[in-house]
Amino acid sequence: MGVVLPFEDKSSDPEASLDALVALVSGGMDRVNAMILSRTGSEVTMIPEVANHLISSGGKRLRPILTLATAALCGYGPAEGERDGDVKLAASVEFMHTATLLHDDVVDESDMRRGKVAARIKWGNEASVLVGDFLLGQAFKMMVEVGSLRALDILSSAAAVIAEGEVMQLTAAKNTETTEDEYLAVIRAKTAELFAAACEVGPVLAGRPKSEVAACRSYGMNLGIAFQLVDDALDYGGTSADLGKNVGDDFREGKITLPVVLSFRRGSDEERAFWRRTLERAEIEEARDLDTALGIMRRHRALEDTIERARHYGAMARDALALFPKSPMKEALLEAVDFCIARAR
């Protein structure tokens, strides 16, 4: 039932995949996965149940992968002793992400998440809120164990910024007149900040100079923005099998994303009235209105241009890494950017 839209291929590598990156960090990720499993343990059986429902439903674990990868890029790795700062911070990052998803489902009243019934449907809103809080607490405990105050500062600041971004989105929700800048401020905070923090703690752990820390942060931030923009486009153009959710979820939930922002601004009075009715007033006639929305987006090239914007941030992410010498890890991180954008095809 997926609607496939023809995007022009401007990516440097349309066949890009995450395989190289995944292979380079596979040893570390095994340890991250073991850490995740052990830290969701609790005598309160509902906690591992809920946590594992989401954790085992298999996201790509892109964020913890990025922590391991940037740490390795900067030379952090097992020294004489068993160093596991990267593993613990990577697991913390994934816990922060999972906690956000659990809380998001409550906020969005979602029924599905990653192609499975949302935890809140299965165990109730209460469980989603509280298990999210538990995971956040465990994340901070792991960070404290690592003992780097700078890493703690980065990740706790990110937690506050993410929540702030979510509230911002709540406030801006249903406003079809949201500007592109306002929308970018929201996704910077609620999505890209965690990518940035995940990448920033790598060089911090490795004790690298400021310029490398800033480079990795910039890579993560721009990759995160590109990632979210592609997600926004996919929501109107992907296939349900790909994303674990159906085309048009954002539309049905009245979410204002970049494809809508662009379509609204470029549209006729009549089209604007359509967006106001469907997204602001939530008066939607399922199938027919989604088709109309897709038609308007096609007319204004809103999806193509959303991807085009993503390419811009992807290019910034690539350039951020320019100061690092050539290495397999660097190549893999660059390919990850292309992969994030190539998903849109």
Where does this chain bind a second copy (CB under 8 A)?
42, 44-47, 103, 106-107, 125-127, 129-131, 133-134, 136-138, 140-141, 143-145, 147, 149, 152-153, 156-164, 166-168, 170-171
CB of 140 to a second copy, least distance (A): 4
Please say which residue, 170 or 322, places its beta carbon nearer to a second copy: 170
Minimum CB distance to a second copy smaller for 141 or for 312: 141
Query: Are 18 and 60 spatial neighbours (Cβ–Cβ below 8 Å)?
Result: yes
Which one, 194 or 262, has the nearer CB to a second copy?
194
Q: Which helix (H) or strand (E) holds 259?
A: helix 258-266
User: How many angstroms separate the CA atoms of 289 and 279, rounded?
Assistant: 11
Whole-number minimum distance, CB 195 to a second copy, in Å? 17
* Pair 236, 303: CB distance under 8 Å: yes
Quick one: 25 or 93, whose CB is closer to a second copy?
A: 93
Long-range contacts of 116-125 (CB under 8 A, 24+ apart): 116/53, 116/57, 116/244, 119/50, 119/53, 119/54, 122/53, 123/46, 123/49, 123/50
Question: Judged by CB, which is closer to a second copy: 121, or 243?
Answer: 121
Shortest spacing between CB 93 and a second copy, in angstroms? 14
Least distance to a second copy, CB of residue 36, Å: 15
Q: In 3-state terms, what secondary structure has residue 182?
A: helix
CB 114 within 8 A of CB 54: yes
Contacts of 241-246 with CB under 8 Å at 24 or more apart are 241/2, 242/2, 242/343, 243/115, 244/112, 244/113, 244/114, 244/115, 244/116, 245/112, 245/115, 246/1
* Least Å from the CB of residue 81 to a second copy: 18
**CB nearer a second copy, residue 141 or residue 281:** 141
Q: Rounded to the nearest whole angstrom, what is the least distance from the CB of residue 282 to a second copy in the complex?
A: 15
For a second copy, which is the closer residue by CB, 134 or 183?
134
For the record, the structure tokens of 168 come out as 């911002």
CB of 109 to a second copy, least distance (A): 9
Q: Residue 78 corresponds to which tokens in the numbers above?
A: 């097992």
